[in-house]
């Protein structure tokens, strides 16, 4: 019979645990990715450990929030300066050597921070953190471009999900360990551990074999600059302003993120009286929330639309900052930061998925360079305004003010963000269809190019029971009724389907005639996929084949049960 996606089947997921642990399967039998995973884990732990320890030492030495904000500005500025260009270095150079050199250099610079322990030496922190971040701006695109080279396209989403979980775990362990060093009175010991972690990461990358890309003809200088700016043009001048509104919201979140370190430090020490170690513990709470969000985001993306998740996650982020600002005690801040970490991962993952699915593959690198450059630029602005706002109004009012500014930007951007699916087209829609979430971006692109849009007036029979099945249908809008008739008996109503449901796969999977009829209830639009295209897509995604086969089995069983009850 024609398949119908019932509400019950959508609410019950028998493979919940399997999907939760699925990203870890990428580690089996892939030595290169195993080493990338280990090297990145050590590198991320080092990042957060040194950052938390440094800002606490700087604040203890200077007693100045403005100084901490300036140090954060210097630490972040190389990302804004170099990220749009270091991707080209990763594409043209030896990525393995870039990874090794970047982390050996970072390890050496972090050990130099051991000399930053008084007002006379605190200035050394500025050149050291600038060099550390400059090396990080080389490390990040080199690592990101290495992952697709060592995993298959079908494993790429799982690999990225696993690395995001590692980042959340490091955000718990790094600040937490930094807090421990502060409590025992040896905050600078964190720099020794950090230097060792960077060195260990570099040694891990020595054993990785990363396939090198075929050398390309280098463009002229003018063409190279034009190609770099193509990412900014795509985000800010095309797509009817939808992605421009998206980037406005990203920039608002970046503004808060840039002010975050200074705000949390001053709130922990002066407002909540948690001491310098409280900064590490509050950031660890943020990391716990991020870890929970990383575990949940895969299931939430299945159940909600991307623009909905992005809007909700962003709104919750801004609201939580307000709650932190007005919280009367430290325990409330801990709980709020757990929520903040959770919603932050939700908005980040849904936002990155929007970029991945909306951007043509040939522009993806440049668009992500523009995306990250815009994000870091707004973070730099946040670091600049945090210190003066705290000095003028105090940390509570500063936090609330910045969050209200972000809310205002979100309010302006929301009308265009709600049109995201209509403007950005079929790929955004397909990414939100539950049964298609396992598809790699490459397969999703192929599927989008093969679909055809069909429209039906109310009360039109779209599929007739007994006909030859030649297409799969995915509901774009409207409602249809599915029914079955046999031996002259009255028709049996089986299901009502709506947006993102699909039907017609049973005849294609089992090579049988249509097993039920489908009739439009109101005006209906569908995406249809021809039999040959459907079979080709199934060959490229074993998980999609299993998911649809499981759905068809369940629907056949439900139909038999309903027919038995009618006898």
Residue 256, pLDDT score: 87
Domain-located, residue 163: no
358 and 246, same structural domain? yes
Domain-located, residue 167: no
Domain-located, residue 439: yes
DSSP string for 195-244? HHHHHHHHHHHHT---PPPPP-PPPPHHHHHHHHHHHHHHHHTSGGGHHH
Say whether pLDDT at 388 is over 80: yes
241 and 191, same structural domain? no
More confident residue, 457 or 266: 457
Say whether pLDDT at 139 is over 80: yes
More confident residue, 132 or 225: 132
**Total domain count, the chain:** 3
Within 13 A of 151's CA, how many CA atoms are on the CB side? 28
Residue 365's pLDDT band (boundaries 50, 70, 90)?
Answer: low
116 and 195, same structural domain? yes
Say whether pLDDT at 100 is over 90: yes
The residue count of the chain comes to 567
384 and 271, same structural domain? yes
Per-residue model confidence as pLDDT tens digits over 512-527: 788 788 999 999 988 8
Per-residue model confidence as pLDDT tens digits over 331-343: 777 888 888 888 8
Domain limits at 199? 1-157+174-218
439 and 299, same structural domain? no
Residue where a domain stops, chosen among 365, 383, 418: 418
Domain-located, residue 213: yes
390 and 472, same structural domain? no
Q: In 478-532, at which residue ranges do the beta strands (DSSP E only) sit?
A: 480-484, 492-497, 502-503, 517-520, 524-530
* Mean per-residue pLDDT of the chain: 78
Residue 1, pLDDT score: 43
CA distance 139 to 101: 9
Strands 452-456, 480-484: pairing is unpaired
252 and 110, same structural domain? no
482, 494 contact by CB (below 8 A): yes
227 and 214, same structural domain? no
559 and 446, same structural domain? yes
510 and 395, same structural domain? no
456, 278 contact by CB (below 8 A): no
In sequence order, what are the beta bridge partners of 496? 481
Report the CATH number that the domain containing residue 407 is assigned in CATH: 1.20.1250.20
Per-residue model confidence as pLDDT tens digits over 396-435: 898 899 999 999 999 999 988 887 766 666 766 776 676 6
CA distance 397 to 322: 9
**pTM of the prediction?**
0.61
Domain-located, residue 169: no
């Amino acid at each position: 019979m024609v398949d119908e996606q019932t509400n019950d089947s959508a609410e019950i997921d028998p493979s919940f645990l399997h999907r939760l642990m699925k990203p870890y399967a990428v580690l089996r039998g892939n030595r290169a990715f195993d080493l990338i995973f280990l090297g990145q884990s050590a590198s991320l732990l080092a990042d957060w450990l040194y950052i938390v320890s440094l800002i606490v030492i700087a604040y203890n030495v200077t007693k100045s929030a403005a100084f901490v904000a300036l140090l954060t500005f210097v630490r972040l500025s190389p990302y804004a300066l170099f990220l749009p260009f270091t991707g080209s270095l990763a594409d043209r150079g030896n990525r393995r050597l870039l990874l090794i050199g970047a982390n050996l250099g970072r390890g050496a610079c972090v050990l130099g921070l051991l000399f930053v322990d008084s007002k006379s030496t605190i200035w050394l922190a500025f050149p050291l953190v600038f060099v550390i971040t400059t090396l990080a701006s080389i490390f990040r695109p080199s690592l990101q471009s290495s992952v697709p080279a060592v995993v298959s396209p079908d494993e790429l989403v799982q690999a990225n999900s696993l690395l995001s979980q590692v980042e959340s775990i490091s955000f718990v362990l790094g600040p937490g360990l930094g807090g421990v060093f502060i409590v025992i009175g040896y905050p600078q010991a964190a720099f020794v551990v950090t230097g060792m972690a960077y060195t260990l990461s570099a040694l891990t990358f020595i054993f990785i074999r990363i396939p090198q890309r075929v050398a390309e003809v280098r463009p002229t200088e003018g063409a190279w600059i034009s190609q770099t700016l193509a990412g900014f043009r795509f985000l800010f001048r095309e797509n009817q302003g939808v992605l421009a509104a998206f980037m406005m919201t990203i920039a608002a979140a970046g503004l808060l993120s840039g002010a975050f370190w200074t705000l949390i430090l001053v709130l922990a020490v002066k407002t909540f009286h948690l001491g310098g170690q409280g900064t590490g513990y509050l950031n660890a709470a943020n990391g716990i929330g991020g870890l929970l969000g990383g575990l949940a985001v895969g299931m939430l993306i299945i159940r909600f639309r991307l623009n909905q998740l992005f809007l909700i996650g962003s709104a919750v982020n801004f609201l939580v900052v307000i709650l932190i600002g007005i919280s009367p005690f430290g325990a409330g801040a801990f709980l709020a930061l757990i929520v903040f970490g959770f919603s932050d991962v939700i908005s980040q993952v849904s936002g990155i998925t929007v970029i991945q699915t909306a951007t043509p593959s040939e522009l993806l690198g440049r668009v992500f360079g523009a995306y990250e450059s815009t994000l870091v630029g707004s973070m730099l602005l946040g670091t600049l305004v945090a210190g003066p706002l705290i000095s003028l109004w105090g940390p509570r009012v500063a936090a609330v003010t910045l969050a209200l500014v972000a809310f205002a930007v979100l309010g302006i951007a929301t009308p265009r963000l709600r049109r995201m699916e209509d403007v950005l087209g079929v790929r955004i829609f397909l990414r939100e269809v539950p049964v298609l979430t396992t598809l790699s971006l490459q397969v999703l692109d192929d599927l989008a190019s093969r679909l055809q849009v069909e429209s039906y007036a109310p009360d039109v029979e779209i599929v007739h029971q007994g006909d030859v099945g030649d297409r799969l249908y995915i509901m774009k809008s409207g409602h249809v009724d599915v029914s079955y008739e046999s031996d002259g008996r009255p028709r049996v109503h089986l299901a009502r389907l709506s947006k993102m449901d699909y039907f017609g796969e049973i005849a294609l999977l089992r090579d049988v005639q249509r097993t039920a009829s489908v009739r439009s209830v109101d005006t209906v639009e569908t995406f249809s996929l021809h039999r040959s295209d459907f079979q080709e897509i199934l060959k490229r995604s074993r998980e999609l084949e299993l998911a649809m086969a499981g759905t068809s089995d369940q629907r056949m069983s439900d139909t038999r049960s309903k027919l038995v009850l009618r006898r």
